Amino acid sequence: MMVPEFEEALNKLAVGEISEPVKTPFGYHIVRLDGVTDERIKPLDEVRETVVGELKKEKARLKVRRIVRRVHQAALVSGDLKSAAKEHNAETQTTPFFSRAKHDLEDVGRAPEFYNLAFSLNENEIGEPVTTPEASFVLKVAGKKASTIPALDAVRAEVEKAAAKDNDRSFTNEKFKQFAERLKKEQDLKDIAADIKEDVLHTPYFSHADSIPGIGNVEALKDKVFGIGEGETAAVSALGRHYLVRVESVQKPGEPDAEDRKKLAERLARQKSNFVLQDWLKNLRERSDVKVDQAVL
């Protein structure tokens, strides 16, 4: 699946042809079509290794989760997580101290559920098992260290940088409010853009399902734009950016032509093929009797 602008340019090419520059929300592209493979549902023999591999991984994940639950129950009874883990052939690790602001542990990664639980537990308390896509954990808080206020000289550069950034953000937000009020009264983007030495950018037509060309898939902005009429303006803050917009014109949906129908049919066929494959894999998992190779654990 590709953004519509890219897919449209690709669909116009024959094998070996190179497109004109194509603009999408991600930038400019020059596309060459190297080859085309007809879509099809792969036979079981062709995907057997992949399916078996995925089933082994799923089976291994389930086994790990069962072990983690047993370790957790044993640790609750004894109060000793290390002994409970050793009893079930699992290992324990002790992390260095970490804080809410700096907690990117190498063996944990970005797992907010892990850190949220850690900061909710008391010292020596054992938490409920935490499962992420990569791993499963049983946590015990081994110790807590009181927060301290560092000497100003040690953090002066960091504080000054944060203060400057905060001032810049406050100034920008305040100016944006002023421009938003002015836009509401004047309904003229060009004068405001001239005052702040910015260009007024024009997008091509887009639908609520599309990513906005040159901006991206900003839902809050799309919701606001599709809630106003032709010639009306709006101010929107979203994802750390500020937008002053005016709806230049609205194109009502019409009857799709033959090319539009063809593209729609191809997209629906791809989606249906994917749904069929996922349903087939689900049924295959339910019916399969799989032995787990210990080497993958």
Among 102-106, 154-158, 169-173, 197-201, which is the least confidently predicted range?
Answer: 102-106
Q: How far apart are CA 191 and CA 200, in angstroms?
A: 10
Considering the entire predicted model, what is its pTM?
0.39
What confidence category does residue 207 fall into, taking pLDDT thresholds of 50, 70 and 90?
A: confident
**Could you say which DSSP state residue 241 is in?**
E
> Based on the domain organization, do 190 and 236 belong to the same domain?
yes
Residue after which a domain boundary falls, among 93, 114, 137: 137
> Based on the domain organization, do 192 and 241 belong to the same domain?
yes
In a domain, 8, yes or no: no
In a domain, 117, yes or no: yes
Q: Residue 97 phi/psi, 5° resolution?
A: -65, 140
Contact (Cβ atoms closer than 8 angstroms) between residue 147 and residue 163: no
In a domain, 34, yes or no: no
State which residues form the domain around 196.
168-246
> Based on the domain organization, do 174 and 237 belong to the same domain?
yes
In a domain, 23, yes or no: no
pLDDT at residue 291 in the model: 57
Residue 231 has pLDDT above 90, yes or no: no
What confidence category does residue 289 fall into, taking pLDDT thresholds of 50, 70 and 90?
A: low
For residues 225 and 25, which has the higher predicted lDDT (pLDDT)?
Answer: 225
Could you report the per-residue pLDDT of 68-123, keeping only the tens digit for each?
A: 899 899 988 888 888 888 888 888 888 888 877 777 777 777 778 888 888 888 88
> Based on the domain organization, do 237 and 262 belong to the same domain?
no
Could you report the per-residue pLDDT of 5-64, keeping only the tens digit for each?
A: 888 899 899 999 999 988 887 788 899 999 998 888 888 888 888 888 888 888 888 888
pLDDT at residue 14 in the model: 93
Number of compact structural domains in the chain = 3
The runs of H, that is alpha helices, within the chain are 4-11, 44-78, 81-87, 112-120, 152-186, 189-195, 219-225, 258-287
In a domain, 156, yes or no: no
